[in-house]
Structure 1
Amino acid sequence: MKKLFTTLSNIWKIQELRERIVFTLVILLVYRFVSHVVLPGVDATALGDNQKSGILGLLDMFAGGSFSRVSILALGVMPYISASIVVQLLGIAVPSFQKMQKEGESGRNKLNQITRYLTVVITAVQAVGYVKTQVPKEAILIDPTLFFVLSTFVLSAGTLFVMWLGEKITDKGIGNGVSLIIMVGIIARLPMALYQEITSRVIVDGGLIALVLEIVALFAVVMFTILIVQGVRKVPVQYAKRIVGNRQFGGVRQYIPLKVNAAGVMPIIFAQALMFIPTTLTQFFPTLQNTWLIQFSDPTSLAYSLTFAFLIIAFTFFYTAITVNPVQMSDDMKKNGGFIPGIKPGLSTSSFIDDVISKITFPGSVFLAIIAILPSLAVKFGIKSEFAHFYGGTSLLILVGVVLDTLQQVESYLLMRHYDGLMKTGRVTGRTGVPAANTSGSSAVI
């Protein structure tokens, strides 16, 4: 406890770090306040129980509940995230985007600008769909045509406002702004979920021991998730010794940290999108409700969990293959005079790196699949679905990853000022260990 207070005191002594933390907290408070502002022309009392499920529930989680509240920030940062993913994929397939990735700071600025323009387009399309399908007609107080035009404009402006807040946090605050905004939206659900679980266990069932076991299990799951997020395979790299004048360059051994889970949460998001297809088909075609497709309407069913796990493993290999480029890593190593001991530079090096990535990706994908289906297992054990979401899946991975990234930045400030780090032994490391895993230059890191 003394170590904790000493660390907090050291953090407060660093003026720049203190100002960045305060700035970040103020921006996040502004975001949470504005997220409760309902669209103009909507009667908030007429919305009733507007909770979402399925893919819409996932969007509502990322938006911090704004999606179901019909807020002016209902679309949140998801259009920006979608645009960032599109630009990242274009950087793999389109030569002109690959060229911009290699242009350094100027190239990153161009890609960020393209991402912003693409965000405007995606937001406009999603705003039209949201107003048409998600706003109850009985809650609209003004002319429907005027409401449609006004709401489309307001929703688009709201997403751009959230994007601006995220970039301001990244520039003048601490941590990645977009990721922090998503994290705050997820954490906002925790107090109510915990209250419901405590009420259900202690007051209704009288199961205080069961509640304690649930908290212990949650702690163990969080520790397991941290191991997956932090796990790396260090590949040694030796740099040739060069003498320039009276100075020696190179001649040192470094490491390439290849992440066990280089794909992050993207495989879960892709897999969830596919798992919602059977449910959507049964809604449009009622005759299919008596077929085998109905099994995929229950997230706790065995068929759903096995299929979900298989899709996550497949998408983990796919996303890792398109984001981590062994050939580029080998070329960069060769240009800087580096080589892996015992491996020839060039094709042999890229093949070796690709083989290592393949070997570590399989256990990483299996562990990721286990984390993804843990909420369903928690529901099977009688945990409320709202609280079970924090036992795994996208929400837990985002929370763990964002917290680690933010703590890593805080610790770097402490170490630069010659203070002790956040831990007595070791150092906090975030998810940014693999440069190839985020090649778009975008600030949107999930």
Structure 2
Amino acid sequence: MFKAFAQAFRTPDLRRKILFSLLIMALYRLGTFIPTPGVSASNVNACLAQQESTSVLDMFNLFSGGALMQLSIFALGIMPYITASIIIQVLRVAVPRLQDLHLEGQSGQSKLTQYTRYLTIFLAILQSTTMITMAASGQMFPNCPNEVIPNATFATYLFMVVVMTAGTSVIMWFGELITERGVGNGMSLLIFTSIVATMPMQLWDIGMTKGWLTVLAILVIILAVTVAVVYVEQAQRRIPVQYAKRMVGRRTYGGTTTYIPLKINMAGVIPVIFSTSILGLPPLIAQFGDPASGWVQWIGRNFSHQSGWYMLTNAALILAFAFFYTSITFNPDEVSDNMKRYGGFIPGYRAGKPTADYLRYVINRITTVGSIYLVIVAILPSIIMIPLNLGPNQMPFGGTTLLIMVGVGLQTVKEVNSQLQQHHYEGFLK
């Protein structure tokens, strides 16, 4: 990996792309520290000093690089875009028009991207309104006597919503700039930047409170889990495909052998995000209830990260969402029809329905292994917290964190290697 980046910096075109990407990432991090107009930064910092974990807010805060709890102009981060992308993908199953656009190629994909942008703006308005309301009512910072929004007027709230929504639009633009003019994967790199930026401070806090041996143990665990995640994320089940020979004039086409690469974890990190979001809603709702009521106390007992009930429910949701999302992203019937159209077949299986049934059988077995892997990675941090005596907001990594970091890192290295090969081939031909 380091060799690839060293070669990239020696290539002028790639060096410009890498430096441009780093500049955009630096601008993104700078925006996370600029408070939204109307917010008292000193009062927010005072409230953060006594803030406790609130599950779903922690996840949003993680993806925003700590900007959410600081109520900065980039407070919403990239989460509205991620949510909009997931919603558009899920709606492809229910809305035939969206599925038709998906099959139209580049023009259809451009339309879907435009719909995703519109939905992102709509979700940003909803989320910014919710977060501002929670901050003004004291639900975002419970038991904090300081007012984070001193001038609580309708005009102030409206201006804050506009600024936060505009911040989400700028982040979306940053991601597209990195994708078009940088090293690619712009949105993923911005998420990667947010996650990595908060880890050193968390490790420092653990070292000061729990001791540096605890930090060393966490680093060893991160390294071991990262190696395991890289191994599984790179694993593939290759389905052999042969193409029959056909004569066109005096030329022979086809007769080649290739394969369909099926990843073990085809759903990626999406099932973990779904599950965490759903399980984070009850504690968020409970903040609006009476602390002495029974249902609020029951949620407090059973929705902590170290609760056995929470872990079992989280595992069940991850398993369900892994199968659901894989069924959306991989259609055996569509793959079988494409193979049949171009004269391809899997050895031992006839083209058409038998091929689709075989692919469905294989993908179900692969998804079973991949979903179990996701469950292990997701609940491992909660188990590790117990012997290390760490609170839920002290753990510097989680299953979602590691999956995103490793996945984005691997994809970025592949992009750099691909562009290096293009430059190499260009020089060779010249």
Residue-by-residue CA offset, 1:340-389 (whole Å, 9 max, x unaligned): 11111111111100000111111111111010001111111216455634
CA distance in 2, matches of 1:127, 1:63: 13
SS in 1 for 2:388: coil
1:232 is the counterpart of 2:241: no
RMSD: 2.1
Confirm or deny that 1:123 pairs with 2:124. Answer: yes
**Residues 239-264 of structure 1 deviation map (CA, whole Å, 9 limit, x = unaligned):** 11123344432211111111211111
Give structure 1 stretches of 5+ with no counterpart.
Answer: 420-446
Given the alignment, which residue of 172, 175, 180 partners 2:189? Answer: 180
For 1:387 and 1:227, how far apart are their aligned partners in 2? Answer: 27
Aligned to 2:261: 257
Out of 45-54 and 338-347, give the one that drifted further. 45-54
Q: Deviations over 1:206-258 (max 9, x none)?
A: xx4x5544322221111111122222211111111123344432211111111
C-alpha distance 191-291 of structure 1, shift in aligned 2 (>3 A): closer
Which residue matches 2:357? Answer: 351
In structure 2, do the counterparts of structure 1 residues 211 and 287 end up closer, same or farther at CA, with 3 Å as the change threshold?
Answer: closer
Partners of 2:280 and 2:9 lie apart in 1 by 47
Match of 1:395?
A: 401
Give 1:316 deviation, angstroms.
Answer: 1.0
Report percent identity of matched pairs: 40
Structure 2 residue aligned with 1:429: none
Q: Which residue of 2 aligns with 1:439?
A: none
Counterpart in the other structure of 1:81? 82
Q: CA deviation at 1:168?
A: 0.6
- CA distance in structure 1 between the aligned counterparts of 2:349 and 2:15, rounded to whole angstroms: 47
Question: For residue 435 of structure 1, what is the aligned residue in structure 2?
Answer: none
Distance 1:9 1:217, change over 3 A: closer
The answer as to 2:66 corresponding to 1:59 is no
1:296 aligned residue (302, 324, 328): 302
Whether 2:161 is the aligned partner of 1:155: answer no
Q: Secondary structure at the match of 1:188?
A: helix
Q: Do structure 1's residue 138 and structure 2's residue 135 form an aligned pair?
A: no
Q: Secondary structure at the match of 1:237?
A: strand
Deviations, residues 266-317 of structure 1 (Å, cap 9, x unaligned): 1111211232344345442542258754432321122221221122112211
1:433-444 aligned at under 5 Å gives the runs none
Deviations 1:176-221 (A, max 9, x none): 1111111111101111122123334546xxxx4x554432222111
Map 1:249-288 → 2, pairs under 5 A: 249-280=253-284, 282-283=286-287, 284=289, 286-288=292-294
* Among candidates 312, 320, 330, match of residue 336 of structure 2: 330
Q: Does 1:25 align with 2:34?
A: no
Q: The residue matched to 1:69 in structure 2 has which SS?
A: coil
Q: Which amino acid aligns with 1:158?
A: G
For 2:115, the equivalent position in structure 1 comes to 114
Aligned-partner Cα distance in 1 for 2:167–2:152: 22
> How far did 1:104 drift?
1.1
Contact kept, 8 Å, 1:317 with 1:361, in 2: the verdict is yes
Per-residue CA deviations over 1:95-118 (Å, capped at 9, x if unaligned) read 111111111111111111111111
Which deviates further from its counterpart, 410-419 or 69-78?
410-419
Alignment partner, residue 432 of structure 1: none
User: 1:49 maps to what in 2?
Assistant: 47
Q: Is this contact kept in 1: 2:203–2:396, CA < 8 A? A: no
Q: TM-score, normalised by structure 1?
A: 0.86
Read off the aligned partner of 1:122 and give its amino acid letter: L
Q: SS where residue 138 of structure 1 aligns?
A: coil
Counterpart for residue 71 of structure 1: 72
Structure 1 CA distance for aligned equivalents of residues 369 and 238 of structure 2 = 16
